[in-house]
Amino acid sequence: MLLIHCPYCEEDRSELEFRWAGEAHIARPDAIADITDEEFAEYFFLRNNEKGLTYERWRHIHGCGRFFNAARDTVSDRFLMTYKAGLPKQPVPGVSATEKTVETYEQTEGDAR
Amino acid sequence: MRKYSVFALAREALRAHKGWEAQWSSPEPRSSYDVIIVGGGGHGLGAAYYLAKEHGITNVAVLEKGWLGGGNTGRNTTIIRSNYLYEESMDIYEHSLKLWEGLSQDLNYNVMYSPRGVMMLSHNTHDMQSFKRHINANRLYGIDNEWLTPEQAKAYCPPLDISKTARYPINGAALQKRGGTARHDAVAWGYARAASDRGVHIIQNTEVTGIRRGLNGEVTGVETNRGFIGAKKIGVSAAGHSSVVMEMAGVRVPLHSNPLQALVSEPLKPIFPCVVMSNTVHAYISQSDKGELVIGAGTDQYNSYSQTGGLQIITHTLDAICELFPMFRRVKMMRQWGGITDNTPDRSAIQSVTPVPGLFVNCGWGTGGFKATPGSANLFAHLIAKGEPHKLAAGLTLDRFRTGRLIDEAAAAAVAH
Amino acid sequence: MSGSSHGSTKNLGAFRIKGVGRLTPARTSRFSFDGKSYTAIEGDTVASALLAHGVHLVGRSFKYHRPRGVLSAGPEEPNALLDVARDSARRQPNVRATVQEVFDGAKIASQNRWPSLAFDVGSVNNLLSPFFPAGFYYKTFKWPQEAWEKVYEPIIRRAAGLGVAPKEEDPDRYANRFAHCDVLIAGAGLAGLTAALSAAATGAEVILVDEQPEVGGALHFDTSTTVDGKNGFEWAQETAAKLAAMPNVRILTRTTVFGYYNHGFLGLAERVSDHLNRPGRETPRERLWQVRAKRVVLAAGAIERHMVFPNNDRPGILLASAARTFLNHYGVAVGRNVGVYTAHDSAYEAAFDLKRAGVSIAAIVDCRERPGEAVLAEARALGINVLTGHSVTDTSGRLRIKSMTVARNGNMDIRKMPIDALIVSAGWTPSVHLFSQSRGKLRWDEASQRFLPDIYAQDCVSVGACNGTDEASSLVHEAIAAGGGAASVSAESRFGWSGGMIGAAEGAGPDTRVKAFVDFQHDVTAKDIRLAVREGMHSIEHIKRFTTNGMASDQGKLSNMHGLAIAAEMLDRPIPQVGLTTFRAPYTPVTYGTLVAHSRGELFDPARKTPMHDLEAAEGAEFEDVGNWKRAWYFPKRGENLSSAVNRECRTVRDVAGVFDASTLGKIEVVGPDAAQFLNLLYTNAWDTLKPGKCRYGIMTREDGFVYDDGVVGRLAEDRFHVTTTTGGAPRVLHHMEDYLQTEFPHLKVWLTSTTEQWAVIAVQGPKAREIIQPFVDGLDISREAFPHMSVAECTVMGVPARLFRMSFTGELGFEVNVPADYGSAVWMAIWERAKGMGACLYGTETMHVLRAEKGYIIVGQDTDGTVTPEDAGLGWAVSKKKTDFVGIRGLKRPDLVRDGRKQLVGLLTNRPSDVLEEGAQIVGDPNQPKPMTMLGHVTSAYWSENCGRSIAMALVAGGRSRIGQTLYVPMKDRTIAVEVTDTGFFDKEGGRIHG
Amino acid sequence: MAEVSSSKAARTLALSGIRGRAASVSIIPAAPAERVSLRARPEDVTALSSALELELPTKPKTSATNNMRTALWLGPDEWLVIGDGEGESGLMAACAASGVLCSAVDVSHRNTAIWVEGAGAAAAINAGCPLDLSLKAFPVGACTRTIFGKVEIVLLRTGEESFRVEVWRSFSDYAYALLAEGALDATF
């Protein structure tokens, strides 16, 4: 169960109060009615699904109700930062794609030479 | 290849089983192959097997970054069924089920396919409408799936609580008798053994780190932790990491990778005769040959490659299990684990050519990948060999996300008014 | 040493040694094992009590059904798994005899044997074992095709499995508690207690957890370690008392930290009452603790390994530390003439303690040439025969060990020594389970031949034996540092420990047929591991899965390291290269009931009831589940069933009127100057044109253009809308709206508030609807002219503020009376009283469904399914052509959504009016085509319509509207039904009644 | 108008007539109250505060009370304002009178409240609520929307050993029953 820092409530709260809301910083096209099918598919379906540093949206739905953004490592599931909705993508200082200190099971489990 | 049989077993018994050879050989990689399959799970190993068996393409390597079947093949709850709603789904899952039925014989390897029946519980009017829609579609398509009254459901699965006082009383069930379970590891090992026997190279501990492309953008091979290996064609079947591998060729796919957890109980004497699923209360359960109750939990809500999930997902599933089967409350959870499922927007798989010549992808099986293994592998082999999809998999191409022609099994089970 | 010699009349067991152990013989209890009755002392585990009575044989193994006895004294026990019952409903299979404390009247039985423990037919498997090597089932049972499921598998299943699942519902209660702390300490041995003292001194909130009934850990058996000059165990109890007195410390005994999850979250299972003779009615059986800890100190200790040698599994063979625990804590000797087989010094101390207690030691057989000097000297001093460089190469005794065969290493000549128990030790495995669960990295320590914590992934630290720190004083320093504060604790042990081995011992291979067990419960032998490697299983995960080594209910606590070493030897590769199987939660098995805790029965899932629910129940309503809601389904009168009741309700509504509870519909109040603009973006319709006092039916799509929800929206004022949603859709619609408002259209000045439960909604529908509600309404002219169809107004009803809608989901003259929820029942009662007097009826959701179907009104989620556009559903008119933007505008234009031949909603009339179609039935053009048939669509709604005097149906059919007038077919199991395609709407097509 | 309407409708509360049982905790349905869900932009808080005659809190997890009115911070632009009495306390009117841009919605009947009081109050709530309810983390006056078992609640600490649990009407049976379960286990 994750522990998530809500930038509006300014404290760490249990994942039970939150709802994940997909990849962050995907803006709805302004003239959406006029974009091509490819552009629409890109906007609506295609995602980075990063292994490692990812930017995503959460909503503190059973708290302050606000949507906000988070930078998280999808291997360690560690949150690197959270910040309010509307802010541009925040750089995460000094973080490699995935944190090597963390054991994924495929790393622990024996190799098969 | 040494044939497996009760006689071979008896013969070996007399010499302390010293005569068994390795089930698959582990050769050094060649400098290049006609086809490289990325991912040594059931889908990838199976695809290699069918490439050799049905298309005569044997200069094939399966590259696995860890150990065979170490991904979702070895982490799922082994449920097999084909009673889906849409033609595209019925086509591939029924094709798969038919292959399951003869797989042990085809591979000369007992994968323990056990058609003990998959029963889906209906708890309300909407469930009933949705299940009847499935049952009728399945019947007209030649797929077995029947409606049971609560009493018939209880007769088929005695532990079931069909009392009217339950929070969500059961008003019937849909049963596919040919559905059931199989031994997940055996599927990977059986395919590996049979493919290896036909000349396919099974190469473990070899992680693909890049996909090299030629002047016209076509694939020319893969970079690995053991160096470059050339390939005319590359089939990506790396469930859980499909996005990561495809990104190496600059191809984005519409996927979310989510943790999916499961758990088993301590071993019990036979108590649970079939597979039971309930969408309304979110639970599915069966009993393994070892006697463990095998229970599938839901996916965690966020993207993750951690192969772990929250305890709340487990407890939520057990709430439902104990509500359906109150006598299991004193049973104990012995082991829990997680896998990584690749989920598409319409919860149907992708098996497709890609914008990159020579690169083919098989992904997005979500939580349904194990049951699809033989069918998916078989049709993926066809796609790679022929360069175009088999008609049974024609609906699974990437193009549908542009046209909007989705195969939305999830939406078809939309929540009721 | 017979019980009577205690001077008590009770027989406390022939192997109970007077004056030894910490239990007080005064308090005893009775229990039965396989029908025979025994006496135990309070504090006994089932294992210690049985051993006190000389009972070693307690179970049969999984595969070969070999006789097995108690092996350990802790949760790692692989053999002594018993069925423990308080009563028929409180029966628990697979209980560890070494953990379960005896309670008075316990009925205990052995498992996995028939007909009896001493004579088990299943043990024929043992003789046939050459035919059942690891993975044998992969190689056979393939022919004939059906036979696996029909014949072979049932046999295998019957033989497999251990305990018998409970047959009755568990009557016990379970509890859950969320808790937080600064430091959680797992394990209350010397290290854990010391760390707790140190942490508590800083004022931190501390939770100290231990799985045993009392703190002490290894000090239970280790009598040669003194702390602050005291006997270690006594120091532990005093320290616990001191800690318990501190306000910032919580000590949880009989509690297992079973899981270490993300972000400092840990799962604890507390066994609250299983040890009590008479648990209170309201005492939970177990309590789940869900703890969020800022820091975690792992002081989990280590687990002793057995020796892997031929026939190392006979009853009477135990771990040395277990024998020591039974002796020093429970006052029980595991035998009278005990052999010792070890590769580690610690076993010597067990021999010393036994010897001092009057037990004769046949010999200490040590496979090492050079044991520790200190223990060797002590052994000599005690006159114990030590055979260094020797091994036990076999044992005898069917149901209890009778002798051990000893040989000089690498030497043929052997001697047989009669013994009645054999205690073994191959050394100690640090308990790194929780560390690994926290996803820290382990490293292989070549010198000590063990995996130890290396890189930490969470704020956590390992101390003591689980960190490879054995020596008492350095352990204490480590623990004090880990606690983050200060504490003055000094500890010393009489003997330092050295030695240890992993893998097969002398005589267990490589090339033998003997059974040297690695995993007792699963009957995995050294040769099984070798076979797996021979068959190409080179990954430890493959070996585990192929042999099932470490997959039994002890999860490899004893077997993993041995298995790994044997595999490594076979592969001729260093151990770290072979790898390590993953340590998965739970550390020990956890009861489902504990994980479920309160979420059962009425607390499984909230049952939402409307304010009028009880009144409706009193009127005989049957209810149906819609999402979490209980909705009145129909109101049968005496002798009526669903269909006759619904027929009456349908007729009455159209002839007179009906009263319906619509409270569950979702309601969202949209307030702000930009409210209309916001709704323009969220619905396909246009809202700026809607005048205050009017309402309009709206359709909501998502970006993909498929129908997401629908409902009537009323405009109360320029800046205030009353939006209704489907019952099931309310939460997700609000979430969807908030998403766009907060992240896509934050510039809009508008706010959303859920008012679903603020209002009780009483729908009155039918020709007499106005007449019925008229007298209750104040401050509003509801005449036909003044308050036409699709009007909304605020007024008072029965003196309370109300919102009155003139609308209809039945096609009749209709009103929906919204009053504040607490007034719902009073207003409902009054309206119903009056309506009843005028010949109206109550109706439920079923009648509502029929009436709306007669009018061709859709139900989102039934007539649409998430793949249906407004156009498909015949609602194209509700999609604004003028708007330049709304959510879904682009998705709707995608090629597949505008192509010809899409499934469209149409009506169906069966040729035989009495045939009612099945909802979900599929439709074809040619019923005689072979399977797989081409299906044109399916029936979404189908009813008998009393008002039409025939069946009616709606369906989604490919190119549906172009097929109106055609005949299609609905092939059912038994017959094929011919249907005519019509438009939707079967009653009052002109629609005059609604304006009545 | 016909006389039927002259008799004002009687009010039936959710949870009417039930009382808590456990030793260390009492669980008591609260009296009816007027409740307003108030939404407004930061720049309008002052005006609303004076209109309501109480300082709308702007710090997360805090509440403010003045002359029988309590305002709970639920979000950066959201407050739950609770006034004693059956809706006569004029909260809606006050918000309207503020003259500033805001959304005031009457939710008096949407919510019902439960008092949880006694030494075991926090423990009883922690049977289903993941919050840290120690006085350090959740002092008197602290409030928040959160989760309780499978339902959403608004929790307000009114004393070291007393909490007000606000819950939607149809979830109140569940919330009450889970509190009762928690209370049984709260002596520990």
Bridge partner residues of A82 (DSSP): A70
CB contact under 8 A, A65 and D152: no
**pLDDT(B195) > 90:** yes
Indicate the DSSP class of residue C332: B
List every span in chain B annotated with CATH 3.50.50.60.
27-109+183-254+346-412
Same domain, C112 and C184: no
The rounded distance, in Å, linking the Cα atoms of C842 and C157 is 55
B35 has a pLDDT exceeding 60? yes
Interface check for C582 against chain B (CB to CB < 8 A): the answer is yes
Q: Decide if C346 contacts C369 (C-beta within 8 A).
A: no
Best B308, B321, B329 residue to mutate vs chain C (most C CBs within 10 Å): B329
Q: How far apart are CA B305 and CA C254, in angstroms?
A: 35
Q: Where in C276-389 does DSSP place strands (E)?
A: 286-298, 302-304, 317-319, 337-342, 360-366, 386-388
A103 pLDDT more than 70: no
Name the 3-class secondary structure at C749.
Answer: coil
CA-based nearest residue in chain B for residue C85:
B330
**Do the beta carbons of residue B268 and residue B287 sit within 8 Å?**
yes
Q: How far apart are CA C809 and CA C821, in angstroms?
A: 22
Residue C746 located in a structural domain: yes
Contact B64, B40 (CB under 8 A): yes
What pairs with residue C178 in β-bridges?
A: C290
Cβ(B318)–Cβ(B295) below 8 Å: yes
Query: What pLDDT, on a 0 to 100 scale, did the predictor assign at position D136?
Result: 96
Average pLDDT over residues C813-825: 98
Mutate to test the interface with B, among C289, C596, C624, C931 (most CBs of B within 10 A): C596
The pLDDT, as a whole number, for residue B182 is 97
User: Which architecture characterizes domain B27-109+183-254+346-412 according to CATH?
Assistant: 3-Layer(bba) Sandwich (3.50)
According to DSSP, residue B328 is labeled G
C150 located within any domain: no
Distance from CA of A12 to the nearest CA of D (A): 10
Angle between helices C560-571 and C526-534 (to 10 degrees): 40
Sign of CA dihedral D134, D136, D140, D143: negative
- The first and second tokens of residue B217, run together, are 């953008």
Q: Which of C370, C393, C425 is the last residue before a domain boundary?
A: C425
pLDDT band at C512 (very low <50, low <70, confident <90, very high): confident
In the numeric block, which tokens belong to residue C529? 């591991």
> Which CA distances in Å does C696 have to C678, C765, C883?
15, 18, 17
Mean of per-residue pLDDT scores for chain C: 95
DSSP SS3 for C742: helix
The beta-carbon contacts of C226-231 under 8 Å, at least 24 apart in sequence, are C226/C491, C226/C492, C227/C190, C227/C472, C227/C489, C227/C490, C227/C491, C228/C488, C228/C489, C228/C490, C228/C491, C229/C490
State the amino acid at position D54 in one-letter form.
Answer: L
Q: Domain boundaries in chain D?
A: 19-184
The pLDDT score that the predictor gives to residue C2 is 38
Q: CATH number for the domain including C544?
A: 1.10.10
| Mean pLDDT within A11-23 | 98
C345 and C382 co-located in one domain: yes
What are the phi and psi torsion angles at C2 (to 5°)? -95, 160
pLDDT confidence of residue B213: 97
Residue C741, domain extent: 664-836
> Can you give C192-211 as a three-state secondary structure string?
HHHHHHHHHHCCCCEEEECC
pLDDT score recorded for residue D14 = 86
Q: Is the pLDDT of residue B271 over 50?
A: yes
Number of structural domains, chain C?
A: 6
**Mean pLDDT, residues B338-347 taken together:** 94
Whether pLDDT at C732 is above 70: yes
**Would you say residue C870 has pLDDT above 70?**
yes
Q: Are the Cβ atoms of A49 and B257 closer than 8 angstroms?
A: yes
Q: What is the pLDDT of residue C161?
A: 86
What separation in angstroms does the CA of B154 have from each of B121, B271, B331, C600? 11, 13, 20, 21
d(CA B357, CA B234): 9
Average pLDDT, chain A: 87
Give, as one character, the DSSP assignment of residue B394.
G
Could you report the per-residue pLDDT of C565-624, keeping only the tens digit for each? 999 999 999 998 888 878 899 999 999 999 999 999 999 999 999 999 999 999 999 999
Is omega for the bond preceding D57 within 30 degrees of 0, making it cis? Answer: no
188 residues of chain D, pLDDT tens digit each: 444 445 789 988 888 766 655 678 999 999 999 999 999 999 999 999 999 999 999 999 999 999 899 999 999 999 999 998 665 679 999 999 999 999 999 999 999 999 999 999 999 999 999 999 999 999 999 999 999 999 999 999 999 999 999 999 999 999 999 999 999 998 76
Query: Least CB-CB distance to C973: which of B139, B265, B319?
Result: B139
Q: What is the pLDDT of residues C436-453, one digit of tens each?
A: 999 999 999 999 999 999
Is the bond preceding C115 in cis, omega lying within 30 degrees of 0?
yes
Q: Could you tell me what percent of chain C has a pLDDT over 90?
A: 91
Q: How sure is the predictor about B413, in pLDDT bands with cuts at 50, 70 and 90?
A: low
- The answer, yes or no, to whether the previous bond of C510 is cis (omega within 30 of 0) is yes
Q: Tell me the percentage of chain A whose pLDDT exceeds 70.
A: 82
Domain finish residue from C836, C857, C872: C836
**CB-based contact, A3 to chain B, within 8 Å:** no
Q: How far apart are CA C131 and CA B7, in angstroms?
A: 10
C-alpha C627/C-alpha C639 separation (Å) is 29
For residue B139, pLDDT beyond 60: yes
- Per the prediction, chain B carries an average pLDDT of 95
How many Cα atoms occupy the beta-carbon half-sphere of C443 within 13 Å? 10
DSSP β-ladder status, C57-60 and C81-85: unpaired
Query: CB–CB of D131 and A13 under 8 A?
Result: yes
Q: Does the residue C464 lie in any domain? A: yes
Percent residues over pLDDT 90 in chain B: 90
Mind listing the pLDDT tens digit for each residue in C360-378?
Answer: 999 999 999 999 999 999 9
Which tops the pLDDT comparison, C859 or D87? C859
Residue B310 pLDDT class (50, 70, 90 cuts): very high
Residues C515, C546, single domain; the answer is yes
- Enter the CATH code of domain D19-184: 3.30.1360.120
pLDDT in tens, C9-55: 679 999 999 999 999 988 999 999 999 999 999 999 999 999 999 99
Q: Choose, out of C92, C142, C524, C646, the residue to mutate when testing the contact with B (most B CBs < 10 Å).
A: C142
State mean pLDDT over C776-791: 97
- CA dist C751 and A72 (Å) reads 30
* Per-residue pLDDT, A95: 59
Whether C814 and C713 share a structural domain: yes
Nearest chain C alpha carbon to D21: C282
Same domain, C58 and C85: yes
Query: At residue A109, does pLDDT exceed 80?
Result: no
Q: Which distant-in-sequence residues (6+ apart) come within 8 Å of C101 by Cβ?
A: C43, C44, C45, C46, C213, C274, C275
Which segments within C582-634 are labelled E, that is strand? Answer: 590-591, 622-626, 629-634
Distance CA A92, CA A71 (A): 8
Q: C525 and C318 in contact (C-beta within 8 Å)?
A: no
C865 is a domain residue = no
Distance CA(A40)–CA(A30), nearest Å, equals 12
Asked whether residue A106 carries a pLDDT value surpassing 80, the answer given is no
Residues C673 and C813 in one domain: yes
Q: pLDDT band at residue C82, thresholds of 50, 70 and 90?
A: very high
Query: Crossing angle, helix C190-201 and helix C472-483, to 10 degrees?
Result: 30
Query: pTM of this prediction?
Result: 0.96
* N-term to C-term CA, chain D: 60
Between the CA atoms of C872, C875, C876 and C879, what dihedral angle is there, to the nearest 10 degrees? -120
In chain A, the domains with their CATH numbers are 3-92 (3.30.2270.10)
The answer on C439 and C417 residing in a single domain is: no
Residues C778 and C691 placed together within one structural domain of the fold: yes
CATH number at residue C982: 2.40.30.110
- Strands B359-363, B227-236: pairing kind: parallel
Bridge partners of B283, per DSSP, are B278
Could D12 and C611 be called an inter-chain contact, meaning their C-beta atoms sit closer than 8 Å?
yes
- Which residue's structure tokens are 């097929």? C963
D31: which DSSP letter?
P
Identify the pLDDT of residue C934. Answer: 97
Q: Which of C175-184, C574-583, C911-920 has the lowest mean pLDDT?
A: C574-583
Distance CA B144, CA B159 (A): 24
Using CA coordinates, name the residue in chain A closest to C179.
Answer: A14
CB contact under 8 A, A17 and D61: no
Assign domain B118-177+257-343 to its CATH architecture.
2-Layer Sandwich (3.30)
**Looking at residue C509, what DSSP letter applies?**
-
Whole-angstrom distance, CA of residue D76 vs CA of residue D99: 20
Please name every residue paired with B259 in a beta bridge, in sequence order, or none if there are none: B340
In C499-574, at which residue ranges do the beta strands (DSSP E only) sit?
Answer: 517-519, 524-525
Question: 């409030």: which residue's tokens?
Answer: D143
**Number of Cβ atoms within 10 Å of the Cβ of C417:** 17
Report chain C residues whose CB lies below 8 A from the CB of A105.
Answer: 582
ipTM value: 0.96
Nearest to C650 by CA among C857, C916, C945: C945
Closest-CA residue in chain A for B302? A20
C-beta of residue C283 within 8 angstroms of C-beta of residue C273: yes
Examine the domain organization and report whether C68 and C205 are in the same domain: no
Residue C122 banded pLDDT, cuts 50, 70, 90? confident
A48 touches chain B (CB under 8 A): yes
Provide the phi-psi class of C438: left if phi over 0, else alpha when psi is between -120 and 50, else beta.
alpha
pLDDT per residue as tens digits for the range C326-366: 999 999 999 999 999 999 999 999 999 999 999 999 999 99
The single-letter DSSP state of residue C809 is: S
Provide the pLDDT for residue C281. Answer: 86
Task: State residue C806's pLDDT score.
Answer: 98
CB neighbour burial string for C207-227, b if at least 16 within 10 angstroms, e if fewer = bbbbbbebbbbbbbbbbbbbb
> Chain B contact for C708, CB < 8 A?
no
Residue of chain D with shortest Cα separation from A10: D60
CATH of the domain at C37: 3.10.20.440
What's residue A81's pLDDT?
96
Q: Whole-angstrom Cα distance, residue C908 to residue C238? A: 83
With a cut of 90, say whether residue C632 has pLDDT above it.
yes
Rounded to whole angstroms, the Cα distance separating C775 from C36 reads 80
Type of residue at C237: Q
